[in-house]
C-alpha cells in the first residue's frame, strides 16, 4: 500500500464538512470517559475505564445503554458529568463550537457552517443562519426548563425539594435530548403510576425527536395564529414538516396498536395500563429509551415492533438517531413509483429529486449492512453465554444503532469486552449517521472517466 497516497486521502477526508462533527464527538467522548473514570465520579470498585468509555459514548450519542447503574454506581458528580455529556450530544458538538465563535464575534468558517447546516437545517436556511441558530439554543433551554418545572412539581410531594429538583432537571434534559438515561434505580418502571410525570416525559421525547426545523415552523405558525387577523389565512407547512408530522404520528399510533395486538407484559393488569404502556414505549422506542415496563418480558412479536421503531428513529435535525422518518417516507415513495411504473417518486403532490431518493436508498442500505455485520460480530463474541438468546442480541444491536437505549434485561452489562467495544462503535456510527462516515471513507476527487454501460440479469 502506498503510504503517501493513504495519508493524502486521510487529509483530504478531514477537509470535508462531515469530518468536523465526527472528530468533535470523538474528542468529547474521550474527555468524558476520562472524567467518569476519575475516582470522585463513581463509587470505589464499580467502574473501570471500559465502563466509563461505554457510558461516555452512550451519553454523548444520547443512547442510554449502560453497563453499570447510573443511579447507584456513579456519584452525584458523575451524574452531573453524564448530564453535561447528554446536553452536548443532544445539540451537537459543532453547535457549541459555533455558539462559542458567535459569542466571541468571530466569523464561522464555511466548513463549520456546512457541517451545522447538514446536521440541523435544510439547505435553504443558510440566509437566516444566525437567527435560527439562536432560536435553536433558546428553544432547547426553554423547553427543558418548562419540562423540569413540571417534573419538579410532580416529584415534590414524595421527595425533598433538592432531590426533586435534581431528578426533574436530569430527566427533563435526558428526555428532550432523547437520551433515555435515568437516575431512578428501575428507570421509569416504579414511577409509571405518576401520570403527569409520564405525560410530560412523553411530550419532551416527542418534541426533541421532531427536529429543530419542524419546531421552528410550528412555533412560527403558533405565533401567527395568536396575532393573526380574521381575514388572514393560515400558512401551509413545508413538505418536510408535513412529512415528519404525519410519519411520526403514524409510527407512534401504529406501533402502539400493533403492540396491543401482539400483547404486553403481565405487569399491565388493566386495559388502561396496557394502552398507556404501549403508547409510551412506542414513543420511547423511536429514539429515547426510557422504559416503563420490563422490556425482556414482552412477547417476541412486540420486540420485533420495537426493533422496527428503533431502526427508523426520529426526524432529521433532531436529537434522535435511526435512519429517520423522512428517509422511510422517501424510500416507500420510491418503491411505490417502481410498482406503479412511474419514472419519478412523489410525496404529497411534490416530485422528489434523484439526489434525495438516492441518498435515502444509500442510507437504508448502509444501515442494514452495519446491523447485519453487528449481529454477526455480537453472535461471535457472546456465543458462550447460555442466558442470551439471538433475539436479545438483535435487539441490543438495533437499539445501539438507533441510539435508543432500550435493553431486554442484563444483556448490556453482561457483554464481553469485544461486545462492548462493538456496541460503542455502533452508538458512535448511529449518532453520526452512516452517510456521514461513508462520506469520510469514500472521499475522493470527482472522476472524469466515463465507463461503458454494462448489462446484468436481475432477479
Under the banding of pLDDT at 50, 70 and 90, the label for residue 265 is confident
Beta-ladder partners of 398: none
Q: Where in the chain are the domains?
A: 17-225+237-441
Q: By the 8 A CB rule, do 144 and 86 touch?
A: no
Beta-ladder partners of 350: 347
pLDDT number for residue 214:
81
Share of the chain above pLDDT 90, in %: 41
pLDDT number for residue 266:
83
Q: Which helix (H) or strand (E) holds 308?
A: helix 300-312
Q: By the 8 A CB rule, do 174 and 86 touch?
A: yes
Share the mean pLDDT of the chain.
82
- Count of C-beta atoms within a 10 Å radius of residue 432: 21
* Mean pLDDT value across residues 152-181: 92
pLDDT number for residue 354:
79
Under the banding of pLDDT at 50, 70 and 90, the label for residue 126 is very low
Contacts of 272 (CB under 8 A, 6+ apart): none
Give yes or no for residue 121 having a pLDDT over 60: no
Give yes or no for residue 134 having a pLDDT over 70: yes
* Mean pLDDT value across residues 351-371: 85
Give yes or no for residue 413 having a pLDDT over 90: no
pLDDT number for residue 11:
52
What is this structure's pTM?
A: 0.85
Contacts of 175 (CB under 8 A, 6+ apart): 147, 201, 204, 205, 208, 288, 290
Among 57-66, 176-185, 263-272, 438-447, the least confident range = 438-447
Give yes or no for residue 382 having a pLDDT over 60: yes
pLDDT number for residue 105:
47
Give yes or no for residue 253 having a pLDDT over 60: yes
CA distance 264 to 53: 34
pLDDT number for residue 373:
96
Give yes or no for residue 150 having a pLDDT over 50: yes
Among 239-243, 274-278, 289-293, 453-457, the least confident range = 453-457
Give yes or no for residue 415 having a pLDDT over 60: yes
pLDDT number for residue 446:
54
Q: Which is nearest to 281 in space by CA: 270, 269, 268?
A: 268
- Interior/surface letters 103-125, b for 16+ CB within 10 angstroms, e for the rest: eeeeebeeebbbbbbbbbbeeeb
Give yes or no for residue 314 having a pLDDT over 50: yes
Residue 235 C-alpha cell reads as 400558512
Among 17-31, 258-272, 323-337, the least confident range = 17-31
Amino acid at each position: 500500500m502506498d503510504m503517501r497516497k493513504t495519508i493524502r486521502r486521510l487529509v483530504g477526508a478531514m477537509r470535508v464538512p462531515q469530518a468536523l462533527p465526527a472528530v468533535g464527538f470523538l474528542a468529547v467522548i474521550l474527555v468524558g470517559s476520562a472524567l467518569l473514570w476519575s475516582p470522585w465520579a463513581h463509587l470505589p470498585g464499580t467502574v473501570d475505564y471500559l465502563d466509563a468509555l461505554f457510558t461516555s459514548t452512550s451519553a454523548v450519542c444520547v443512547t442510554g445503554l449502560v453497563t453499570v447503574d447510573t443511579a447507584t454506581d456513579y456519584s452525584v458528580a458523575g451524574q452531573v458529568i453524564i448530564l453535561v455529556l447528554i446536553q452536548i450530544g443532544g445539540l451537537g458538538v459543532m453547535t457549541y463550537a459555533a455558539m462559542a465563535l458567535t459569542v466571541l464575534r468571530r466569523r464561522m468558517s464555511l466548513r463549520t457552517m456546512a457541517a451545522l447546516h447538514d446536521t440541523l437545517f435544510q439547505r435553504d436556511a443558510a440566509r437566516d443562519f444566525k437567527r435560527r441558530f439562536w432560536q435553536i439554543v433558546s428553544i432547547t433551554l426553554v423547553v427543558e426548563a418548562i419540562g423540569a418545572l413540571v417534573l419538579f412539581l410532580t416529584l415534590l410531594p414524595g421527595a425533598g425539594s433538592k432531590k426533586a429538583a435534581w431528578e426533574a432537571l436530569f430527566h427533563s434534559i435526558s428526555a428532550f435530548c432523547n437520551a433515555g438515561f435515568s437516575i431512578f434505580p428501575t428507570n421509569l418502571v416504579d414511577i409509571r403510576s405518576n401520570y403527569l410525570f409520564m405525560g410530560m416525559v412523553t411530550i419532551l421525547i416527542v418534541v426533541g425527536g421532531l427536529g429543530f426545523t419542524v419546531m421552528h415552523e410550528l412555533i412560527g405558525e403558533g405565533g401567527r395564529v395568536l396575532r393573526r387577523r380574521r381575514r388572514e389565512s393560515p400558512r401551509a407547512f413545508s413538505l418536510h414538516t408535513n412529512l415528519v408530522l404525519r410519519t411520526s404520528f403514524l409510527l407512534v399510533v401504529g406501533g402502539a396498536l400493533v403492540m396491543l395486538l401482539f400483547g404486553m407484559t403481565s405487569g399491565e393488569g388493566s386495559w388502561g395500563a396496557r394502552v398507556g404502556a404501549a403508547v409510551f414505549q412506542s414513543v420511547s422506542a423511536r429514539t429515547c429509551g426510557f422504559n416503563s415496563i420490563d422490556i425482556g418480558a414482552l412477547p417476541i412479536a412486540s420486540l420485533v415492533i420495537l426493533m422496527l421503531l428503533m431502526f427508523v428513529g426520529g426526524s432529521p435535525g433532531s436529537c434522535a438517531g435511526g435512519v429517520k422518518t423522512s428517509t422511510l417516507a422517501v424510500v416507500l415513495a420510491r418503491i411505490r413509483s417502481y410498482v406503479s411504473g412511474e419514472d419519478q417518486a412523489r410525496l404529497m403532490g411534490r416530485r422528489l429529486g434523484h439526489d434525495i431518493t438516492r441518498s435515502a436508498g444509500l442510507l437504508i442500505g448502509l444501515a442494514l449492512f452495519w446491523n447485519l455485520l453487528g449481529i454477526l460480530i455480537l453472535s461471535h463474541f457472546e456465543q458462550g453465554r447460555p442466558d442470551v438468546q439471538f433475539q436479545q442480541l438483535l435487539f441490543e444491536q438495533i437499539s445501539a444503532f438507533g441510539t435508543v437505549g432500550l435493553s431486554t434485561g442484563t444483556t448490556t452489562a453482561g457483554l464481553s469486552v469485544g461486545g462492548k467495544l462493538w456496541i460503542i462503535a455502533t452508538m458512535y456510527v448511529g449518532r453520526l449517521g452512516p452517510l456521514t462516515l461513508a462520506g469520510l471513507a469514500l472521499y475522493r476527487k470527482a472522476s472524469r472517466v466515463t465507463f461503458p454501460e454494462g448489462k446484468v440479469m436481475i432477479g
